[in-house]
Structure 1
Amino acid sequence: MSSTEFCVSDSPASPAPTHAQDSPGVDRGRRRVLLAAPVVAGALVVPTGDARAQTGIPERWSAGWGCAPAGPPPPASLLTFANQTLRLIVRTSLGGNRIRIRLSNEMGDTELRLGSARVALRAGGAVITAGTSRQLTFSGRTNVTIPAGAPAVSDPVSLPIAPFTDLAISLYFPGTVQATTIHNAAYQASYASTTGDFGAQTSLPIQRAFASWPFLTEVDVDRAAPVLVAAGDSVTDGVGSTSNGNRRWPDYLARRIQVELGNDRIGVVNRGISANRMLANTATALLAGNDLLERFDRDVLATAGVRGLAVLIGINDIVYSPPSAPIPADDLIAGYLQLIARAHLHGIPVLGATLPPFFGFVYYTPAREAVRQAVNAWMRSALPFDLLADVDLALRDPDVPQRLLAAYDSGDRLHPNDVGYEALAGAVPLPALWSLMGGTG
């Protein structure tokens, strides 16, 4: 789902207790058990060094922004563009001197012809900062044809940016294209032009605005910073947060990193998809994406610079199962163990998260609640993850633990509001996460 209301608000919140755990595949010397809220770690050393390639040494790239593609949408909501320029707005969590982008036609059944692509700093709305527009090329060409089912990565282009910079990615399609590959719940306005190629123009002549990200799935910068991929469902995607405000919990976590650890210490990429599940696809809701076990290689392992995985998923597996005989907790536990094992095969530590309270949500039943409680109890007692963020404890009402705290509720009794998402980000054990991802100091 996506929103059409665009406003911003800021509110503080408090962190919650967290845990950590030893597990195979990650250096034991860098693990610790956390029994209290994270502390400020302002004295840590910032990694340095230019990531430009040297002779015989591969370039180092890190994802500063990303989303998870899904689709195709149902015909009634399929976006079609004909001889138009899209201006897609994203905010990077990392700075750098050069940029490249990743586009996707992975859900398309015909080739995707892109006439031109540009990147620039955004001044506001659909307006870019004069003098910052850069032509992007693909294998040295200004146009590219992306086969059905495939992605495409651009060549690097010089454009120095600071962390938390808003970028405008302009994509010109000379023919008629359908946005079969799209991230639906962007909670960010992007724009389509009137007829023509306006990528180099400061001001885009707008035909319409829309709150999704067609085709664009990643923006990389030339840094060697470790990247944390946040994989999950609508709670990670930011449902209930303020549109155009960058108030999803991974956004708040990126800002915590800046304050407590320093700029460019860790990149954060959001691969959440609204309605996504861990174990099964939803055939009637293709915008919910492939289940996390299926999309893991693409959305986690293929992310430039990935050094850590944060997993907050499972509530949809519960609420989309039969109300009186829901999915067994053991099935979810087996799924989490698979995610951990596959991440550890690549030396990637995993930050797990307990499932949030949902009493009063439209799909709540006592039987489903019992599964959630069993899963959370297993996470806390077995300590299967390298670290654990106790999201349930951070968000629940202390008087009614099955219920989301009213101050954190966006209105549907499951999805947090901005304040709740900040509290969720505060539950992440940040110094220990930094250590697990290779940080020193």
Structure 2
Amino acid sequence: MGTTPKIIALDDDPTGSQTVHSCLLLLQWDVETLVLGLKDDSPLMFVLTNTRALSPEQAEAVTREVCQNLKVAIPQAGVEEFLVVSRSDSTLRGHYPIETDAIAAELGPFDAHFMVPAFFEGGRITRDSIHYVVQNGTPVPAHETEFAKDSVFGYSTAYLPDYVAEKTGGAIAPEQVERFTLERMRSGVSDALMRLEGNVCVAVDGETQADLNTFAQEVLAAAADGKRFLFRSAASLLTALAALPPQPIAAEDMAQYVKDHHPGAILIGSHVKKTTQQLAELLKAPGIVGVEVDVTQMLDDWAAGRSRLLDSTLAQVSQIHAQGQTPAIYTSREELTFPDVQIRLAFGEQVSGLLMDIVRGLPSDLGFLISKGGITSNDTLSQGLALRTTRLLGQILPGVSVVRTAADHPQFAAMPVVLFPGNVGDENALALAYQRLS
């Protein structure tokens, strides 16, 4: 077998590294930064493109730009073999097939692209090519959940061959999708992998990590034999491909990373129902003081509303911090309606801009920061903290990652930052992450 391929994940929000550790997350993708990631000792690297927050046109442009720079960086870094993973949401929301098409156009041709949405830590499994979200212990077909009603990425079916046909506008018909069912997966797909060609779409089942671990070993063997594969997956496949040992410090001992045992801050941007339930539990925790950011004040006059909100929020935060407590800063929860998607996205950008101004105004002796919501977390890393790369320490809860800023960060040196996806964990999860750090 040849050298182990470098696994390059293009992540459409910063939470896809939620099952791995000790690797670099890149927040920029110029050639020089990509070379840093490619040369790093870890078997995998993440490029945080944040495309789930972008329009289809922007998502395609960013994906192409990353791939064009990778074409230059890969030989510069001396990497011989690589696998590309388009990491996206385990509830089937995202720019498919835009991203996989862009990757194939720039880095192809590929023999196949695999749809692997299973994410076991989050209770997402795929059986008979139908993708399920486990809710209160019961697997529910993904199209029957709130995620399928997403105003930007909605879909009508969780049967992957039909989902692919729907998303590709019929360019790939359901019967053209190859199905790796559990039965096939468990009897071995090595021969089938070698026969794939022409960038055929393959829907991959998975009920346990063991299913994907075996599949990953077969994929790596086929790749070593010259097959070229592309993946559209959630996080669990990355665990399987990277085959890492346990993380350096266990989840329950993560308080070791907190700076001088100082209190932290918690920033909550996500609006999914699960986040709102988790926030309610967090606000009951000792040492937490809620700070509501009433974004409706920005509806009439963005600029004036934003500057007023920023001043009042930072004044409250400063006072709470001085008393040795942890502010939980959250955007107002009511569902706002907008005349169209463009205005909704523009307002979302304004709110995110305000949250990043708040991050930049936080006390510099914070012990830790918890960021709740995928897009919020990406903005926190790339804009609020202005990071170029960051090292992933591991997970504080299943599916919830912790990174750390560099020791020479100008404002928040060596500070642990928790990247908490909107739709992960039970209602006590946010409070538990806070307790593990305090």
Query: TM-score, normalised on structure 1?
Result: 0.27
Instruction: Compute the TM-score of the two structures, normalised by the length of structure 2.
Output: 0.27
Structure with the bigger percentage of helix? 2
- Which structure is richer in relative contact order (CA contacts within 8 A, separation 6 or more)? 1
